[in-house]
């Protein structure tokens, strides 16, 4: 006996190859799945061909332009690339250390700022006002200006016990700026938690601090993981700006080599190294976002 849902185990063909669970998909369902596979293969083929055609057209347009020989020699020299790559990779270690240390500091400070801005009650008004002023100021201040002010302004004060290390000062400027952005991400996550969650926690005997710690923050952090990863990707790229302070990172190493013969291939090498680091982090962000969207669509825990 056939139906739109499937066949019983005793009624299915012997060579069907289905699992021994007493169920085999119906012919209509099998045809529908075949159609989906064919459509997916067709879409993948069309996408691959269109990408190939676009790449060929761009290659021909660029390589047949009048200035291509000079551009290739200035920006894509294999000899300069081999010379620059070891120095760029050596400087990249500084960028990675800055990413780890500054990333951890940004997450902690950003979360503290977000919690301060969501505290309730008139007694916390000064704290909320200070957190809001900090966030508004450093979100509006361009990062390059913040770096210049910290890197050159702090040593000019000649304060006793205050470091003049350009790496430390540059990292501090990154933390100041990115903490403001990350605090808004955390605050959005905290405010996205329904007030009934906090009310339910209070009805169970939890204090306001306990409700925030054990109920609100865990949900808020899970919800803002994708934008936090995006901010981490941006921070990874902006660590190269510490080179304006004289710190020898990947960008400054490329600048030293490029300044000798005015060949800019080392900059291209440094850029490609940063891209190679950014792409895996971007794909991780996309995967986390898609996974959370699927769980949210299925009604699972976010």
75-83 long-range contacts (CB < 8 A, ≥24 apart) are 75/264, 75/265, 75/267, 75/268, 76/265, 76/268, 77/263, 77/265, 80/257, 80/261, 80/263, 80/265, 80/266, 81/265, 81/266, 81/268, 81/269, 83/257, 83/266
User: In this predicted structure, what is the pLDDT of residue 225?
Assistant: 86
Give bridge partners of residue 23 from the DSSP assignment. 8
The CA–CA distances, whole Å, from 285 to 18, 31, 282 equal: 37, 35, 5
Question: Topology of domain 79-292, per CATH?
Answer: MetI-like fold (1.10.3720)
Q: DSSP code of 141? A: S
The predicted structure's pLDDT at residue 102? 95
The total of other beta-carbon atoms located within 10 Å of residue 222's CB is: 13
pLDDT by 10-residue block (mean), the chain, 302 residues: 46 46 80 91 93 93 90 89 91 92 95 91 90 94 93 88 88 95 94 89 87 89 87 89 84 88 90 88 82 72 48
The pLDDT value recorded for residue 16 is: 45
| Terminal Cα distance for the chain, rounded | 42
User: Where along the chain do its domains lie?
Assistant: 23-58, 79-292
Q: Give the pLDDT score at 189.
A: 92
Q: Which of 221, 215, 274, 283 is nearest to 250 (CA)?
A: 274
> Quick one: pLDDT at residue 121?
81
Classified as helix, coil or strand, 200 is helix
Neighbours of 227 (CB within 10 A): 18
Q: Which of 228, 132, 158, 136 is nearest to 189 (CA)?
A: 228
pLDDT at 99: 92
Vertex 176: Cα angle to 164 and 112 (nearest 5): 130
The residue behind tokens 């921070």 is 235
Q: So what's the pLDDT on residue 10?
A: 45
């Amino acid at each position: 006996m056939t139906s739109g849902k499937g066949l019983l185990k005793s009624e299915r063909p012997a060579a069907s190859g289905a699992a021994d669970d007493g169920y085999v998909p119906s012919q209509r369902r099998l045809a529908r799945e075949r159609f989906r596979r064919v459509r997916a293969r067709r879409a993948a083929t069309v996408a691959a061909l269109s990408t190939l055609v676009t790449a060929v057209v761009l290659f021909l347009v660029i390589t047949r332009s009048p200035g291509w020989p000079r551009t290739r020699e200035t920006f894509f020299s294999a000899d300069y690339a081999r010379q620059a790559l070891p120095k760029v990779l050596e400087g990249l270690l500084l960028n990675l250390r800055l990413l780890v240390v500054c990333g951890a500091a940004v997450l902690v400070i950003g979360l503290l700022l977000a919690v301060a801005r969501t505290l309730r009650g008139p007694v916390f008004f000064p704290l909320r006002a200070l957190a809001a002023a900090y966030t508004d100021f450093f979100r509006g201040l361009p990062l390059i200006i913040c770096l210049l002010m910290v890197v050159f302004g702090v040593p000019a004060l000649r304060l006793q016990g205050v470091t003049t290390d350009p790496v430390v000062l540059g990292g501090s400027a990154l933390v100041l700026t990115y903490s403001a952005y990350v605090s808004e991400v955390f605050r959005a996550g905290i405010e996205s938690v329904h007030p009934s969650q906090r009310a339910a926690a209070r009805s169970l005997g939890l204090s306001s601090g306990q409700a925030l710690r054990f109920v609100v923050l865990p949900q808020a952090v899970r919800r803002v993981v994708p934008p936090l990863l995006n901010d981490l990707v941006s921070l990874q790229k902006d660590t190269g700006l510490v080179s304006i302070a004289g710190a020898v990172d990947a960008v400054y190493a490329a600048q030293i080599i490029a300044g000798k013969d005015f060949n800019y291939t080392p900059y291209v090498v440094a850029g490609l190294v940063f891209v190679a680091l950014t792409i895996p982090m971007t794909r991780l962000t996309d995967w986390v976002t898609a996974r959370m969207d699927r769980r949210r669509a299925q009604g699972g825990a976010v």
